[in-house]
Structure 1
Amino acid sequence: MKKSIQLNQDNLEQIGNHIPVPNYNRTSETADIVHIGVGGFHRSHLAYYVHLLKNSGEASSLCGIGLREGDQNLHDIFKKQDHLYTLMVKHPDGKIEPEIIGSIIDFKMGTTDPEAVISQMAHKNTRIVSLTITEGGYNFNPTTGEFNFDNPDIQHELRHPNDPKTVYGFLTAALKRRRDAGLPAFTIMSCDNIEHNGDMARKMLLAFAETQNPDLAKWIAKEVTFPNSMVDRITPVTTPADIDILAQNSGVQDAWPVTCEPFIQWVVEDKFSNGRPAFEKVGVQFVPDVGPYEKMKLRLLNAGHSVMGILGAIHGHPTINACVEDELFAKYLGAFLDEEATPILGPIIGIDLEDYKDSLLERFANPNIKDSVSRICSESSAKLPKFLIPTIQENLATGGCIKFATLVLAAWCYYSDKQADQNGEPLEIIDAMQDELHKAATATSSDPLAFIRQESLFGELAENERFATTYTDMIQELYKTSEVKKLMRSLL
């Protein structure tokens, strides 16, 4: 066992005797990208791309921003580790490749020092403000797609523009300061799993700004660009075992490393307000229209994850790879991808969909990743209206197959009602709408469509006769037997 070395700037040279470390100077830089939402995915994706650029000699750096109380822990760890962290790439054959990433050079908390965050965004060197704030962070009604002005924090920001709480308050405060100082606008770049994520960010910010400051809204509409992007890299939650493995095998003591798969992809529209790093040098694909790539990824990978996660949770599978190792689950996922998701996708330049679907099954089956079904099922109320339900709606409109996705919704109802798997083992439910979901699901015994009548999630699906009949048959059978595999077999 190697003696463990604390990860920090002073120890980088020593750590470099064991694993790769940054080859660039981190001490005299000012960030040109400000990133809101420094979770595991950001650190395995955008921050990794910036790291690759810096290793190649390009000058670009990140300042992370936390806007939630829950970000304080990472802030404190980063401060201790000089904003360094380890990225552990896990290969299917069991090989783990750790590397120290140094592209994040600062981290500021909006909850404790909002002025520092506004100043960082308004700084003349900031060219891009990027986002991974999850689907729920965009503050829109999932059915209408309109901005939610009922949010108490939004109401506070409208009354107190100099005391921001949400991403919208901080963005408008910083953009106002730049406009007043005669500085160019920064680009707002969404890296979230939302179809047309840049368009959504633009729509939501302008809705907020038009109410808070109409003159500023006009300037934002004219000067700020919001490129759409498609991002992809499976990044499981870090476990205590990951921390131990890193210390034992590589001799590095890192309080919060990040694990990920080898696959990485980023497709972006090339429209930036104030320049951008040369990301194409490290494999980023710039295209005129990212829409087809977004739709492919959301409807195949993200929806496929939810199909496995929710059905797997009910059956009792703990991880996504355990689901795919189950022959019935793998066959079911393939049928969903082939018969329901693929038919509603148009042509995608440069992509062979059959190869892409085969790669998904291989990635999901990676035994070294062990992505938990609880992570995949978390915040399903924000995910399914974007990943899965539109596929049902489009197939209903065209007469296409809906049975595989409909069973997932029935299983989600059971999951939300029982909050346990079919063996009675309790499930970890992580969802902002947990109480509403549970209340609606518990009414299923008296009204089979009670769960689907939540229009904010399902729109008018309950009024569609074909869907209602299919769903009702499934929910009644699932509640009668609790055996999700029996229903899965019946559909294949």
Structure 2
Amino acid sequence: MKIPIQLNQENLQEVGSRMPIPDYNREADNTGIVHIGVGGFHRAHQAYYLHQLRQLGEALDWGICGIGLREADAKLQDIFNKQDHLYTLMVKHSDGKIEPEVIGSIVDFKMGTKDPEPVIAQMAHANTRMVSLTITEGGYNFNPTTGEFNFDNPDIQHELKHPQDPKTVYGFLTAALKRRREAGLPAFTILVCDNIEHNGDMMRKMLGTFAEAQDPDLAKWIAQEVSFPNSMVDRITPVTTQTDIETLAQKYGVKDSWPVTCEPFIQWVIEDKFSNGRPDFEKVGVQFVPDVGPYEKMKLRLLNAGHSVLGLLGALHGHPTINACIEDEVFKNYLRAFLDKEATPILGNIEGIDLTDYKDSLLERFANPNIKDSVSRICAESSAKLPKFLIATIHENLAIGGSIKFATLVIAAWCYYSDKEADQNGQAVEIIDAMSTDLHQAAEQTKTDPLAFIRQESIFGNLIRNERFTKLYSEVVHKMYKDPNIKKYMRDMISIE
């Protein structure tokens, strides 16, 4: 066994005898992108694309400065400081093969929780030409039903009164853009890389609303100068485990405190509208299109919704991982039925995409036994995810008279799961959701009011007023509370097709 080498810049050439490493200049002053929310997905996706481009000798002035706006980001900062912002990306193939590679495109990292000034200054620096974000669907501070900005957030109220002491992404963006305007610098592009339909348009609306309340003149400048391209991102990136860290050390001889694991598949589709230039990402496979909307919708309603279908039903049954769900023929067939009967009919034709092939590839990706994506990760923050991934599909199928039964069973399972906080065998499950208390309280009332769970309009909108949905949901949730044998109901749904 090779003696593990600590991953850092000093040891990089020695690490290079064991796996591929960056061969480009990683100076921190070559920073063109500021990225907020440096989680596993960003490091497996956008940072990886930039790494590939820099390996070609391109994008010399487009290094990434990561930003942490949550106290939890301090752990990553400590590791980045120790590793000179280097990390290992472990691509896991379905045949068990692992391809590790050291990624060097992140060249700096700053925290904004205690002192916002270094973050504002970095965004306002003349070299910064793009600010990108992966802050999860729940990080955008809008009501998923109305689509309106949430001014009740205490941090937002604080920022409106104290513009130089930002707490949220909106406060930081406006503070930096104001400084750029005053300095006569061009605006940066704001590129959203989260799973929200029309994510750039949504960000434009949310930031514009916030800026209008804080500084109307700045809001006008933002509307004229800042570009918000819509984008669609895709790569399954499970949470890093201790086993991953140990495998890297024992098999490959590299000590990395926070490597990232991912599947081989990767995709990025972006509208080509940028305020202040961009890297030539098309040279490494990024697709630039006039309208990303159809691709966004396809991915959200098939991949993301499919993940939630397996995650919630799997959590209730007791399956630990997504690949374990796919190995179960009932789950695999149920997912395919949902994709074919409820998700596909609302998508229409998508240029350059064969939807049958795309769905086939999804099942193959979900089945990757080397990824072992946990159902707990998929179920986390369902209250932010499901309105965009699954509930929107129910609304659209109700409008056209389409099937809703497969998605409705998932909602009933979510209710039972939120009430019992356990699977059907009574084993406790951890509910990770900003609305966990509200979800539990609403689900708990289901025994006396079968529709209590879907009365949460911030999640379900006006579904409570749709007789076709409420009739079916009531029947399903009533059966589930009598006997939570989820596979029985899944088989029943499939068999009556």
Partner of 1:212: 214
User: Residue 48 of structure 1 corresponds to which residue in structure 2?
Assistant: 48
Correspondence 1:26 to 2:26: yes
Contact kept, 8 Å, 2:28 with 2:63, in 1: the verdict is no
What amino acid sits opposite 2:273 in the alignment? K
Q: Distance in 2 between matches of 1:414 and 1:72?
A: 36
Distance of 1:349 and 1:397 partners within structure 2: 25
In the alignment, structure 1 residue 400 sits paired with structure 2 residue 427: no
Indicate yes or no: 2:34 matched with 1:37: no
Q: Among residues 72, 95, 98, which one is paired with 1:96 in the alignment?
A: 98
Residue among 411, 415, 431 paired with 1:429? 431
Give the letter for the 2:447 counterpart.
S
Quote the offset at 1:113 in angstroms: 2.5
Q: Is the 8 A contact 2:90 2:101 kept in 1?
A: yes
- Partners of 2:430 and 2:438 lie apart in 1 by 16
- Per mean C-alpha deviation after superposition, the further-off stretch among 112-121 and 224-233 is 112-121
Total equivalences in the alignment: 492
Q: Deviation above 2 Å: which 4+ runs of structure 1?
A: 27-30
Aligned counterparts of 1:111 and 1:246: Cα–Cα separation in 2: 32
User: After superposition, what is the alpha-carbon deviation per residue over 1:227-268, rounded to whole angstroms, capped at 9, x for unaligned?
Assistant: 000000000000000000000111000000000000000000
Cα distance per residue 1:244-302 (max 9 Å; x no partner): 00001110000000000000000000000000000000000000000000000000000
Give the SS at the match of 1:9: coil
CA distance in 2, matches of 1:454, 1:221: 34
Aligned to 2:357: 355
CA deviation after TM superposition for structure 1 residue 428, in Å: 1.4
Give the letter aligned to residue 468 of structure 2.
R
Distance in 2 between residues matched to 1:233 and 1:239, nearest whole Å = 18
* Distance in 2 (alpha carbons) for counterparts of 1:72 and 1:199: 31
For 1:17, the aligned partner's letter is S
**Alpha-carbon deviation of 1:75?**
0.6
Give me the whole-angstrom Cα distance separating, in 1, the residues matched to 2:362 and 2:265.
Answer: 10
Whichever residue aligns with residue 133 of structure 1, its letter is: I
Q: Deviations over 1:340-364 (max 9, x none)?
A: 0000002111110000000000000
Aligned 8 A contact 2:68 2:110 in 1:
yes
Distance in 1 (alpha carbons) for counterparts of 2:377 and 2:385: 12
Deviations 1:126-178 (A, max 9, x none): 01000001111100011101000000000000000000000000000000000
Structure 2 equivalent of residue 11 of structure 1: 11
Q: How does 1:194-205 map to 2 (within 5 A)?
A: 194-205=196-207
What is the DSSP-based 3-state SS (H/G/I as helix, E as strand, rest coil) of the residue aligned with 1:306?
helix
Q: Which residue of 2 aligns with 1:313?
A: 315
Aligned residue number for residue 455 of structure 1: 457
Q: Which amino acid aligns with 2:14?
A: Q
SS at match of 1:105: strand
Contact 2:229 2:274 in 1 (8 A): yes
Tell me, what secondary structure is at the counterpart of 2:258?
A: coil
For 2:445, the equivalent position in structure 1 comes to 443
Q: For residues 35 and 27 of structure 2, what CA distance do their matches in structure 1 show? A: 19
Amino acid at match of 1:245: T
Of 141, 144, 158, the match for 1:142? 144
Q: Which amino acid aligns with 1:47?
A: A
Q: What is the alpha-carbon distance in structure 2 between the residues aligned to residue 408 and residue 287 of structure 1? A: 34
User: 1:260 maps to what in 2?
Assistant: 262
Q: Distance in 2 between matches of 1:482 and 1:389?
A: 22
Name the CA distance, whole Å, in 1 between partners of 2:443 and 2:462. Answer: 17
Fraction of identical pairs, as percent: 77
Quote the Cα distance in structure 1 between the aligned partners of 2:348 and 2:115: 47
Match of 1:172 in 2: 174
Query: Take 1:151 and 1:209, find their aligned partners in 2: how far apart are those partners?
Result: 15
Name the CA distance, whole Å, in 2 between partners of 1:166 and 1:144.
21
2: CA distance, partners of 1:456 / 1:191: 23
Partner of 2:375: 373
Residues 215 and 28 of structure 1: CA distance in aligned 2, closer, same or farther (over 3 Å): closer
The structural deviation recorded for 1:25 is 1.5
* Shift of residue 27, structure 1, vs aligned partner: 2.9
User: Which letter does structure 2 place at the counterpart of 1:435?
Assistant: T
SS at match of 1:112: coil
* 1:462 CA drift (Å): 1.3
Q: Give the SS at the match of 1:10.
A: coil
Distance 2:144 2:11 in 1: 47
For residues 156 and 29 of structure 1, the distance between their equivalents in structure 2, rounded to whole angstroms, comes to 32
- Provide the aligned C-alpha RMSD in A: 0.6
Following superposition, the deviation at residue 199 of structure 1 comes to: 0.6
Q: CA deviation at 1:420?
A: 0.2
Partners of 2:12 and 2:420 in 1: CA distance: 50
What do residues 351-390 of structure 1 show as CA deviations (whole Å, max 9, x unaligned)? 1000000000000000000000000000000000000001
The one-letter amino acid paired with 2:403 is C
Where structure 2 has 5 or more consecutive residues not aligned to the other structure, the ranges are none
Amino acid at match of 2:34: V
Which residue is equivalent to 2:183?
A: 181
Please report how far the alpha carbon of residue 30 of structure 1 lies from its aligned counterpart in structure 2 after TM superposition.
2.3
After TM superposition, list the pairs within 5 Å mapping 1:223-262 onto structure 2: 223-262=225-264
Return the letter of the residue paired with 1:132. Answer: T
Q: 1:96 to 1:112 in 2, by over 3 A?
A: same
TM-score (norm 1): 1.00
The letter for the 2-side match of 1:11 is N
State the distance in 1 between where 2:28 and 2:35 align: 19
Deviation string, structure 1 residues 21-76 (Cα, Å, up to 9, x no partner)? 00112136421000000000000000000100110001121000000001000011
Q: What secondary structure is seen at the aligned counterpart in 2 of 1:222?
A: helix
- 1:181 & 1:344 partners in 2: Cα distance? 48
Match of 1:129 in 2: 131
Write the distance in 1 (CA, Å) between the matches of 2:29 and 2:325: 45
The answer to whether the Cα contact below 8 Å between 2:464 and 2:470 also exists between their aligned partners in 1 is: yes
Match of 2:305 in 1: 303
Residues in 1 aligned to 2:343 and 2:92: alpha-carbon distance in whole angstroms:
28
Choose which of 374, 385, 388 in structure 1 pairs with 2:387. 385
Supply the AA of the counterpart residue of 1:16.
Answer: G
Deviations 1:459-480 (A, max 9, x none): 1111111100110110011111
Q: Structure 2 vs 1, CA of residues 28 and 411 (structure 1 numbering), >3 Å: closer, same or farther? A: closer
Which stretch shows the higher mean deviation, 317-326 or 28-37? 28-37
The answer for the alignment partner of 2:419 in structure 1 is 417
Structure 1 spans left out of the alignment, 5+ residues: none
- Look up the equivalent residue of 2:453 and give its one-letter code: F
